[in-house]
Amino acid sequence: MTIKKIFNWLVGLPIAIVGIGFAVANRQWITLSFDPFNRAHPFATIDMPLWALFFCGIFVGIFAGWMVSWLNHGRYRKAAREAKIELIRAQQIHEREKRELKSTHLVPRQDASL
């Protein structure tokens, strides 16, 4: 087992145990209302267990954080694409010049005195 796997187990297992304990302790059903104006007869409601609301909130938070991080790193992805294109162009120029150099076959002069 690598250190990374051991660390993941040491961190993940207690979090999973706490999450399962929270779900078992909060099994009561709640009514989630999306209508702030009419409390007696709300327009849109959802009946769900409290633990499901909690885990949905965590999921939405993780997804929102992932989206913000992905959007903020767009400039680095663009720079990497541009650097890759520039590298390919430089490699093509290098290969072309190498072929041209081979095709010229510089022949030394016979009458040159040393």
Between 35 and 71, whose confidence is greater?
71
What pTM was computed for the model?
Answer: 0.59
Evaluate whether 51 touches 23 at the Cβ level (below 8 Å): yes
End-to-end CA distance of the chain: 69
Which band of pLDDT confidence, cut at 50, 70 and 90, is reported for residue 109? low
Let me know if 99 is exposed, middle or buried by CB neighbors in 10 A (0-12, 13-18, 19+): exposed
